[in-house]
Structure 1
Amino acid sequence: MFLGILTLLVAILSLIGGYRELKKKNFFAVGFAALSVALFGWFSIRTLISIIFTGGGGTV
């Protein structure tokens, strides 16, 4: 669960950073932020879906 929340937080922060750089017209940074949002967003959503539907992933 921690991994899903952590990657979701990284995706949200990348989205905020991409917006800030878009206002500054730094399109190279906007591209990297968009890739980060797509990658970390995908990992976080898939991790959270996996945890919800399979009942967790680790044995504690």
Structure 2
Amino acid sequence: MAFGIICLLVAILSALGLFRELKNKNFFAVGFAAVTVAVFGWFSVMTIFSYIVRGGGGAM
């Protein structure tokens, strides 16, 4: 569960950076921030979902 929360925090911070760099029109940084939000957001959602559905998040 801790891994899901850490990934969620990284995704939130990356989303903030994404909007800041969009305002600055730095599209190289926007690309990296968007990929980071997508990857870490996906990992966090799936980790938390797995923890809720499987009840403990352990290996199968």
Query: What is residue 40 of structure 1 aligned with on the other side?
Result: 40
- Could you tell me the TM-score, scaled by structure 2's length? 0.93
RMSD between superposed Cα atoms in Å: 0.7
Number of residue pairs the alignment of both structures matches: 58
Structure 2 segments unaligned to the other structure (5+ residues): none
Deviations 1:8-59 (A, max 9, x none): 000000000010011000000000000000000000000000000100124x
Question: Identity across aligned pairs (percent)?
Answer: 67
Question: 2:34 and 2:57 mapped to 1: Cα distance?
Answer: 29
Structure 1 segments unaligned to the other structure (5+ residues): none
- Could you tell me the TM-score, scaled by structure 1's length? 0.93
